[in-house]
Amino acid sequence: MPVVAVIGAQWGDEGKGKVVDMLAQQARMVVRFSGGDNAGHSVVNPHGEFKLHLIPSGIFNAGVACIISNGVVINPAVLIGEIDSLNERGVDTGHLFISDRAHLIMPYHLLLDGLEEEARGGRAIGTTRKGVGPAFTDKTARLGIRAGDLLDEKAFRERLGAVLEYKNIILTKVYNAKPLSLEEVFSQYRQYGERLAPHIRETTIMVDGALGRGELVILEGAQGALLDPDFGTYPYTTSSSPLAAGACLGAGLGPTRLDRALGVYKAYCTRVGGGPMPTELNDATGELIRERAGEYGTTTGRARRCGWFDAVAARFSSRINGLTGAVVTRLDILDILPSLKVCVGYELDGKAIDFPSSITALARCKPVYEELPGWLTDTTGVRDFNKLPAEARGYVNRLEELIGCPVNLVCVGPERGAVIEKTPIF
């Protein structure tokens, strides 16, 4: 069985949680490979309705090993809260494993995420303020503290002492904030360490073992390709790579082992936070989509910006991920629109251009729209592609053509079963 990376192919919130929950029925391992608790994966299945921030969406299946891998930054308090809340609802987490190489979100990361955003003033990125950016900054700056450090109390105290001395200089001298107490942070994280120790281990060997046994392994992405720090709308991006290439690095897997890269696209576009979005609808249609779809952040509650499907961005995303297939989610949201627009090109100063690297150029791009007829029919009960209204099939077929890879699945509701197979993934 192959390794499948499930990748957000727009600006995040595409419905990756639902897709992973579905695929996990056939899998033996799910690995969350990037981001932190800035993510919010919604899952609706026979166990109930869940919003997962760190725990892989395969957790509902007892036989599926769920790994939070080296590419993720972990806020231990959030993770423990998530474990407790799942356990209270009868979901076992004994099959959850945490890479000893995963970096930790520390109290100063949370403080700095807020202080840095405030210092940016009108140019704020609109981060989730979960400390994710500052934690990845420290990883690169070699100032990070990792899950494995919690297992060695003496070494952890020494490491924390050295890092905190430096962080307190930044907090007090740059931001006029209060310093953090070594004793308090140490004793709090030691407790987290005791609680999480049974889950922490070397995990690449587990992934390799699953591959050796020929098991299906799902690599669960967070955020979306257009938030990638290299290829997204920099600097309005997140801080770790949500791409298929990032999946390999973030899970400790060589790129030659990846068999499928499945891009998840919403049938329209949303974005939360700052940065350009060429197809944004600041009108009644945008409002209608937001309210009908409940487009409010799972993590922050912020209203998401809504717009038409952007096929220029979608094709770019397919290219940089090397997508082998796509999933189109939330098609049913469009059931009530008499006609739909799809952005098929960008025009900048009268010239057609591809998805640009510069946000100032992207902000000036004029979307070129193609108009397609709506279907004005409830699709939520449809399970066979050929039974969709002809206009809905036409819409999905056109997206497929524009994205440039086969559409494998079409989702028509939040529940696990609300899905139509168009082309088999395997």
Which positions are annotated as active-site residues? 13, 41
Piece of 119-127, 137-145, 197-205, 391-399 that binds ligand IMP (CB under 6 A): 119-127
Instruction: Pick from 6, 125, 200, 382 the residue near ligand IMP by CB under 6 A.
Output: 125
- Quote the least distance from Cβ 413 to ligand IMP, whole Å: 20
Say if residues 190 and 154 touch (Cβ distance below 8 Å): no
Piece of 169-177, 236-244, 278-286, 331-339 that binds ligand IMP (CB under 6 A): 236-244
Q: What is the DSSP letter of 323?
A: -
HSE value, Cβ hemisphere, 13 Å, CA-based, for 63: 7
DSSP 23-36: HTTT-SEEEE-S--
- Per the structure block, which two tokens stand in for 23? 């695929």
Q: Is 17 in the site for ligand IMP (CB under 6 A)?
A: no
Piece of 125-133, 180-188, 255-263, 284-292 that binds ligand IMP (CB under 6 A): 125-133
Q: Is 133 in the site for ligand IMP (CB under 6 A)?
A: yes
Tell me the CA distances in angstroms from 210 to 33, 102, 115, 326, one per residue in order.
16, 20, 43, 25
Closest by CA position to 218, among listed 52, 93, 62, 33:
33
Coil, strand, or helix at residue 194?
helix
Parallel, antiparallel, or unpaired for β 269-271 and 305-307?
Answer: antiparallel
Q: Is 132 in the site for ligand IMP (CB under 6 A)?
A: yes
Instruction: Pick from 3, 7, 13, 203 the residue near ligand IMP by CB under 6 A.
Output: 13
Tell me the CA distances in angstroms from 203 to 100, 229, 256, 319, one per residue in order.
8, 25, 18, 30
Residues 33-52 as x/- pattern, contact with ligand IMP by CB under 6 A: -----xxx------------
Angle at 69 between CA 68 and CA 73, to 5 degrees: 80
- Quote the least distance from Cβ 291 to ligand IMP, whole Å: 19
Nearer to ligand IMP, 128 or 279 (CB): 128
Nearer to ligand IMP, 40 or 414 (CB): 40
Q: Is 130 in the site for ligand IMP (CB under 6 A)?
A: yes
Coil, strand, or helix at residue 158?
helix
Q: Which of residues 239-298 bind ligand IMP (CB under 6 A)?
A: 239, 272-273
- Quote the least distance from Cβ 110 to ligand IMP, whole Å: 11
Instruction: Pick from 10, 42, 57, 238 the residue near ligand IMP by CB under 6 A.
Output: 238
Closest by CA position to 410, among listed 331, 314, 340, 310:
331
Give the ranges where 221-296 is alpha helix by DSSP (H).
Answer: 244-251, 284-293
Instruction: Pick from 57, 70, 75, 127 the residue near ligand IMP by CB under 6 A.
Output: 127
- Quote the least distance from Cβ 347 to ligand IMP, whole Å: 26
Q: Is 12 in the site for ligand IMP (CB under 6 A)?
A: yes
Which residues of the chain form contacts with ligand IMP (CB under 6 A)? 12-13, 38-40, 125-128, 130, 132-133, 222-223, 227, 236, 238-239, 272-273
